[in-house]
């Protein structure tokens, strides 16, 4: 599930980030290209303006070739030239050593700043930075540097705002040029002005470019927005549940983990598995559509009772997942009770029952999926009864689960490696006080865990079906053992094996048992099969048939654990059996010993009338033995005589 969320996240990043990045890269590229365009154009305009100026002042400069002879007239002509033309502003004349000869005004060049402009003829013309107010500087390599912001210089906004009058000054630069001939250096101060009309093409280009850029960026933005919208839509589909229309499990996980990261202060959190009991029966009666409609209605009722920062989801299999906040355990219980009450208002003609597993979130807990599975684990302990029940998860449950996994991992190898051992517990007759039978009980001698009693693994095997293999193994071991004792000339007593109720799920059990025993040619009357009454709850027909066949084949069939749990005398009426094993519960923990004993004697009486033998199990004291002997109970199995023991020990004691 987590990897799915990751994949979706990646998908989102993959699609949006390149678009945003593309937008940024392309807009900056546009901006750079625009800046270069402006810079290059201005440089070009400046260059052309300067060259034009140079050609225009050339005749004036040429006059100085004849300076020595016509000083007066040249000075006059130059002065009037300066007054009349805008290209030249001042002239300053020196000899070749730099001594001033004549000037039109006080303005003089700063000779320290002398540099060359690469586009001017280097042999005759040099240039010097002009006055302070100029907005163009020339660096030592001769490149022009515009001191201020380029857009201020060309004044696009200004031009557009003032209208197109054409004679607005955009750039004004004052530069000195040096004109050197044989005897003199003639410095001319030029006034270079770029008017708005000169920038017409540039402004048009900038505007066009700007429009293109705006259109492009707009297009990009629109597609980005629609992409984001699509992502949202996908998220919505991705995170909604088809049955309830609410959020689904994926959302629950994502949001739940977020909420658990940023928990509210003064609040505790609980992850809850909320299961509708007998939902399958409901669907069988009313159909799946009705079932789904019920789920939706229940969801809507629950949703109303869910606060902000809490979550509700329909998981599957008739169960809801919740993340609730609470202040103390009682408050949480009350809230769930109230929830159950309001859920029961949904169907007027039928009562609904719920099983609720609660995991109270610890400070260090973070992964909601894991926490939810704990809630499920707790809920699974509640059984299938039609009853409302709430259970809190405890650590033991998890330990049990870990154990269960280990058992399941190891069981196949254990069977192959003969780690399961047969122990025998004798059954002693009351009249002669001698061995009259034995029960085979399994023990697991685990290579690392050591001795494991059956109650730690039999229930697990019963759930996962491995019990079928184990019971076969036990039966075969017993058949083998009996065959060996026959061969050794011992007198046999019947040995019973336990037959789990799981065997009755399919037909042919009697034949199956026969085939195992017959491999070793053991007479059937020396094999006893202990069935528990609970097998009766599954398929009565199969059970009755199997028992009948087994007895026809000559096996002894007994009912185990009679009196434990839900025994009913009814089963005795329907099932023809050879032996009734009274459960140890009969003799233990009875509040009134007299009443207990009365029941025992009545049951023994009844069984006798039904032609059954009686075995009393779990007998630990002499008083019990005496009482049972008096009541004519046939056999006694219990620690009073002996605990279950390995076959080798059994052989020493009883063979
Ligand atoms: P069960 O068939 O009712 O077996 C009798 C249990 O009572 C045995 O426990 C036995 O050790 C115990 N017991 C006998 N006498 C006394 C006594 O005087 N006092 C007390 N306190 N206990 C006594 P065990 O061997 O631990 O077996 C427990 C259960 O595990 C068995 O109950 C049976 O249901 C199951 N089981 C054991 N081996 C197998 C097997 O091979 N196959 C199947 N399907 N179930 C088995
Ligand atoms: Ca038994
Ligand atoms: Ca028993």
CA nearest 94: which of 180, 193, 168?
A: 180
Tell me the residues surrounding ligand 2 (ion) with CB < 5 Å: 498, 530, 560
CA of 178 to the centre of ligand 3 (A): 125
Q: Residue 215, SS3?
A: helix
| Residue minimizing CA distance to atom 43 of ligand 1 | 498
Select from 444, 451, 458 the residue to mutate for testing ligand 1; criterion: most ligand atoms less than 8 Å from CB.
458
358, 392 Cβ separation under 8 angstroms: yes
Q: Is the CB of 291 under 6 A from ligand 1?
A: no
Average pLDDT score, the chain:
87
Residue range 508-518, pLDDT digits in tens = 999 999 999 99
CA of 531 to the centre of ligand 3 (A): 9
Greatest alpha-carbon span in the chain: 167
Q: Does residue 641 carry a pLDDT above 90?
A: yes
Buried b / exposed e over 25-61, threshold 16 CB at 10 Å, is eeeeebeeebeeebeebbbebbeebbeebbeebeebb
Q: Does residue 376 carry a pLDDT above 60?
A: yes
10 Å Cβ neighbour count for 209? 15
127, 51 Cβ separation under 8 angstroms: no
Q: Residues near 334 by Cβ (< 8 Å), separated by ≥ 6?
A: none
Q: Is the CB of 453 under 6 A from ligand 1?
A: yes
618, 584 Cβ separation under 8 angstroms: yes
CA nearest 117: which of 125, 108, 109?
A: 125
Q: Report the atom number in ligand 1 closest to the C-alpha of 637.
A: 15
Q: Does residue 230 carry a pLDDT above 90?
A: no
The radius of gyration of the chain's CA atoms, rounded to the nearest angstrom, is 52
Long-range CB contact pairs, 612-615, < 8 A, 24+:
612/572, 612/577, 612/578, 612/579, 612/580, 613/578, 613/579, 613/580, 614/579, 614/580, 614/582, 615/427, 615/437, 615/558, 615/579, 615/580, 615/581, 615/582
CA of 437 to the centre of ligand 3 (A): 14
How far is residue 188's CA from residue 85's CA, in Å, rounded to a whole number?
A: 13
* Of 29-38, 532-541, 628-637, minimum mean pLDDT range: 532-541
Residue range 177-204, pLDDT digits in tens = 888 766 888 888 888 888 877 888 888 8
How far is residue 588's CA from residue 594's CA, in Å, rounded to a whole number?
A: 12
For residue 42, the model assigns a pLDDT of: 81
Q: Does residue 597 carry a pLDDT above 50?
A: yes
DSSP 1-35: -HHHHHHHHHHHHHHHHHHHHHHHHHHHHHHHHHH
Q: How confident is the model at residue 65 (pLDDT cuts 50, 70, 90)?
A: confident
Mean predicted confidence (pLDDT) in 317-326: 95
Q: What's the residue count for the chain?
A: 655
| Residue minimizing CA distance to atom 25 of ligand 1 | 441
10 Å Cβ neighbour count for 95? 11
Of the ligands numbered here, which is closest to the C-alpha atom of 588?
1
| Residue minimizing CA distance to atom 6 of ligand 1 | 618
Which of 176-180, 247-251, 552-556, 587-591 shows the highest mean pLDDT? 552-556
63, 74 Cβ separation under 8 angstroms: yes
Q: Is the CB of 321 under 6 A from ligand 1?
A: no
Q: Residue 579, SS3?
A: strand
CA nearest 380: which of 488, 298, 463?
A: 463
Of 643 and 208, more confident:
643
| Residue minimizing CA distance to atom 4 of ligand 1 | 441
Q: Is the CB of 286 under 6 A from ligand 1?
A: no
How far is residue 357's CA from residue 359's CA, in Å, rounded to a whole number?
A: 7
Q: How confident is the model at residue 590 (pLDDT cuts 50, 70, 90)?
A: very low
Q: Does residue 7 carry a pLDDT above 50?
A: yes
Q: Which residues pair with 391 in a beta bridge?
A: 357
Select from 454, 477, 588, 643 the residue to mutate for testing ligand 1; criterion: most ligand atoms less than 8 Å from CB.
454
Q: What percent of the chain has pLDDT over 70?
A: 89
For residue 40, the model assigns a pLDDT of: 84
Q: How confident is the model at residue 568 (pLDDT cuts 50, 70, 90)?
A: low
Q: Report the atom number in ligand 1 closest to the C-alpha of 453.
A: 26
Residue range 293-309, pLDDT digits in tens = 999 999 999 999 999 99
Q: Is the pTM of this model over 0.85?
A: no
Distance from CA of residue 478 to its chain's centroid? Answer: 51
How far is residue 396's CA from residue 387's CA, in Å, rounded to a whole number?
A: 24
Handedness of CA 76, 82, 88, 90 (dihedral sign): positive
How far is residue 299's CA from residue 508's CA, in Å, rounded to a whole number?
A: 46
Q: Is the CB of 638 under 6 A from ligand 1?
A: yes
Mean predicted confidence (pLDDT) in 144-173: 70
CA nearest 128: which of 140, 170, 119?
A: 140
Please work out, in degrees rounded to the nearest 5, the angle formed at the alpha carbon of residue 92 by the alpha carbons of 89 and 96.
150
Of the ligands numbered here, which is closest to the C-alpha atom of 499?
1
| Residue minimizing CA distance to atom 35 of ligand 1 | 454
For residue 106, the model assigns a pLDDT of: 84
Q: Is the CB of 455 under 6 A from ligand 1?
A: yes
For residue 124, the model assigns a pLDDT of: 46
Select from 498, 509, 620, 625 the residue to mutate for testing ligand 1; criterion: most ligand atoms less than 8 Å from CB.
498
For residue 138, the model assigns a pLDDT of: 61
Q: What percent of the chain has pLDDT over 90?
A: 52
CA of 558 to the centre of ligand 3 (A): 10
For residue 128, the model assigns a pLDDT of: 53
Of the ligands numbered here, which is closest to the C-alpha atom of 638?
1
DSSP 429-480: ETTT-SEEEEEEEEEEEETTTEEE-GGGTHHHHHHHSTHHHHHHHHHHHHHH
Residue range 70-117, pLDDT digits in tens = 889 999 999 998 888 778 889 999 988 888 899 998 887 777 666 666
* Of 95-99, 568-572, 626-630, minimum mean pLDDT range: 568-572
42, 202 Cβ separation under 8 angstroms: yes
CA of 530 to the centre of ligand 2 (A): 6
Residue 613 tokens, joined: 């033998």
10 Å Cβ neighbour count for 600? 22
Q: How confident is the model at residue 21 (pLDDT cuts 50, 70, 90)?
A: confident
């Amino acid at each position: 599930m987590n990897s799915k969320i990751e994949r979706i996240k990646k998908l989102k990043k993959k699609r949006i980030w390149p678009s945003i990045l593309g937008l940024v890269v392309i807009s900056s590229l546009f901006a750079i290209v625009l800046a270069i365009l402006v810079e290059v154009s201005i440089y070009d305009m400046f260059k052309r303006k300067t060259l034009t100026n140079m050609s225009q002042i050339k005749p004036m400069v040429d006059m100085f070739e004849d300076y020595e002879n016509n000083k007066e007239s040249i000075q006059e002509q130059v002065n009037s030239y300066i007054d009349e033309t805008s290209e030249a502003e001042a002239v300053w004349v020196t000899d070749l050593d730099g001594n001033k000869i004549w000037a039109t005004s006080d303005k003089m060049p700063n000779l320290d700043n002398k540099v060359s402009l690469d586009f001017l003829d280097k042999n005759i013309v040099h240039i010097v930075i002009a006055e302070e107010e100029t907005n163009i500087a020339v660096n030592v390599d001769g490149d022009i540097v515009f001191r201020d912001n380029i857009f201020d210089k060309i004044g696009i906004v200004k031009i557009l705002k003032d209208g197109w009058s054409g004679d607005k000054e955009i750039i004004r630069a004052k530069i000195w040029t040096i004109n050197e001939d044989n005897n003199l250096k003639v410095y001319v101060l030029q006034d270079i002005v770029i008017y708005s009309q000169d920038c017409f093409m540039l402004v048009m280009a900038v505007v066009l470019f700007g429009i293109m850029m705006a259109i492009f960026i707009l297009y990009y933005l629109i597609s980005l927005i629609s992409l984001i919208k699509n992502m949202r839509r996908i998220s919505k589909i991705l995170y909604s549940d088809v049955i309830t229309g609410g959020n689904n499990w994926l959302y629950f996980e994502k949001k739940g983990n977020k909420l658990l990261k940023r928990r509210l202060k003064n609040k505790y959190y609980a992850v809850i598995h909320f299961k509708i009991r007998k939902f399958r029966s409901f669907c069988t009666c009313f159909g799946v559509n009705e079932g789904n409609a019920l789920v939706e209605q229940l969801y809507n009722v629950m949703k109303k009772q869910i606060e902000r920062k809490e979550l509700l989801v329909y998981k599957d299999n008739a169960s809801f997942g919740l993340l609730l906040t609470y202040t103390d355990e009682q408050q949480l219980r009350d809230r769930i009770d109230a929830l159950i009450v309001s859920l029961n208002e949904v169907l007027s003609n039928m009562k609904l029952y719920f099983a609720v597993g609660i995991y109270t979130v610890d400070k260090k807990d973070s992964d909601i999926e894991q926490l939810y599975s704990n809630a499920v684990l707790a809920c699974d302990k509640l059984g299938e009864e039609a009853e409302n029940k709430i259970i809190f998860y405890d650590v033991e449950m998890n330990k049990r689960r870990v154990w269960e996994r280990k058992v399941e991992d190891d069981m196949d190898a254990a069977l192959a490696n003969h780690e399961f051992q047969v122990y025998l517990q004798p059954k002693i007759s009351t009249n002669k006080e001698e061995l009259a039978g034995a029960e085979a009980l399994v023990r697991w001698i685990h290579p690392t865990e050591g001795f494991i009693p059956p109650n730690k693994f039999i229930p697990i095997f019963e759930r996962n079906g491995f019990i079928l293999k184990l019971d076969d193994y036990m039966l075969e071991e017993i058949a083998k053992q009996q065959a060996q004792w026959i061969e050794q000339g011992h007198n046999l007593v019947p040995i019973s094996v336990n037959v789990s109720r799981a065997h009755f799920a399919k037909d042919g059990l009697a034949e199956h048992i026969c085939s195992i025993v017959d491999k070793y040619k053991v007479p059937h009357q020396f094999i006893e099969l202990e069935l528990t009454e609970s097998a009766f709850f599954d398929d009565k027909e199969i059970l009755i048939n199997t028992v009948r066949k087994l007895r026809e084949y000559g096996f002894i069939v007994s009912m185990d654990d009679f009196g434990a749990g839900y025994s009913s005398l009814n089963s005795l009426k329907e099932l023809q059996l050879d032996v009734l094993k009274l459960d140890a519960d009969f003799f233990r923990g009875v509040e009134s010993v007299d009443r207990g004993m009365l029941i025992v004697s009545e049951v023994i009486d009844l069984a006798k009338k039904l032609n059954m033998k009686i075995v009393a199990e779990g007998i630990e004291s002499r008083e019990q033995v005496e009482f049972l002997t008096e009541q004519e109970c046939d056999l006694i199995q219990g620690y009073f005589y002996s605990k279950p023991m390995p076959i080798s020990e059994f052989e020493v004691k009883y063979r």
